[in-house]
């Protein structure tokens, strides 16, 4: 499980990172809000551990920023001497839980695991390839947390590739999905839709590869082969 820790106290951040790594978490640590936002845009995390008192962009601003992007990553606020109003404000703006400093490590670990389990149950209907998500219930695509605006046929092509990600999908298979039986459309139309999708996914780590003579394949550009 991969965590992002945002904490400006370097000594405390080092201690907590090592303690969580000993609990078998993968931990990345940054020390200010702007860097945190950059990491969240570039990588996927199972949970964000967020201090409220950060230099520059404070914790509340980080929280509001990621929720505006419709990023549903669990957020656990770790704070010292915060008022009840401050805690309520964080929860109102999308934090999932908070814990006061100083805390017992085992309590923090238990809260982290509970939030990740909860997210796992709620995200069973989500299919993901890198930062591209497809909701099986709403049939909505999101790339890097933002909705993708697709035409009906672009959607059909991307859905077919998404549900078979990592596997080759032929043009003939896409034709069956996209066009009605008896349609006079040619396979060149599929090339057009794939070209449009690539443009719309330009900022995403999800890539549509062309396998000449075979078809197309959707994969995570950052995945090792």
Quote the domain boundaries for residue 55.
2-122
Where residue 150 sits, what CATH number does that domain have? 1.10.10.10
Are residues 19 and 117 both part of a single domain? yes
pLDDT at 105 over 80: yes
CA distance 9 to 143: 33
Domain boundary among 87, 122, 157: 122
What's the whole-number mean pLDDT along residues 168-189? 82
Residue 13 lies in a domain: yes
Does any domain span residue 225? no
Last residue of a domain, one of 104, 122, 140: 122
Query: How confident is the model at residue 135, as a pLDDT?
Result: 85
Residues 100 and 141 in one domain: no
Q: Find the CATH number of the domain harbouring 26.
A: 3.40.50.2300
Is pLDDT of 179 > 60? Answer: yes
Does residue 173 share a domain with residue 74?
no
Give the model's confidence band at 186: pLDDT under 50 very low, under 70 low, under 90 confident, else very high.
confident
Q: Report the mean per-residue pLDDT for the chain.
A: 88
10 occurs within a structural domain: yes
Q: Are 97 and 77 in contact (CB under 8 A)?
A: yes
What average pLDDT score do residues 165-186 get? 83
The pLDDT value given to residue 212: 92
Task: State how many domains the chain has.
Answer: 2
Same domain as 118, residue 16: yes
132 and 111 co-located in one domain: no
pLDDT in tens, 26-52: 999 999 999 999 998 888 889 999 998
Domain closes at, from 65, 91, 122 = 122
Q: Which of 39-48, 69-78, 119-128, 164-173 has the lowest mean pLDDT?
A: 119-128
Q: Are 86 and 155 in a shared domain?
A: no
The yes-or-no verdict on residue 124 having pLDDT over 70 is no
Burial 168-204 (b: 16+ CB within 10 A, else e): ebebebbeeebbeeeeeeeeebbeebbebbeeebeeb
């Amino acid at each position: 499980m991969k965590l992002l820790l945002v904490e400006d106290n370097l000594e405390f951040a080092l201690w907590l990172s090592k303690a969580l790594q000993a609990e078998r978490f993968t931990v990345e640590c940054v020390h200010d809000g702007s860097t945190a936002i950059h990491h969240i845009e570039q990588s996927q995390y199972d949970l964000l551990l967020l201090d409220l008192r950060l230099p520059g962009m404070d914790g509340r601003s980080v929280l509001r920023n990621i929720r505006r992007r419709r990023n549903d990553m669990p957020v656990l606020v770790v704070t010292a001497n915060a008022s009840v109003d401050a805690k309520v404000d964080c929860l109102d703006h999308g934090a999932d839980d908070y814990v006061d400093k100083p805390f017992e490590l085992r309590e923090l670990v238990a809260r982290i695991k509970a939030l990740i389990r909860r997210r796992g149950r709620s995200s069973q209907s989500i299919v993901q390839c890198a930062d591209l998500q497809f909701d099986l219930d709403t049939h909505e695509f999101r790339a890097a947390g933002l909705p993708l605006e697709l035409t009906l046929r672009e959607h059909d092509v991307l859905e077919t590739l998404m549900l078979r990600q990592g596997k080759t999908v032929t043009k003939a298979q896409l034709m069956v999905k996209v066009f009605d039986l008896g349609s006079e459309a040619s396979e060149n139309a599929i090339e057009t839709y794939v070209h449009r999708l690539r443009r719309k996914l330009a900022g995403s780590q999800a890539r549509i590869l062309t396998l000449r003579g075979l078809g197309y394949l959707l994969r995570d550009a950052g995945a090792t082969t």
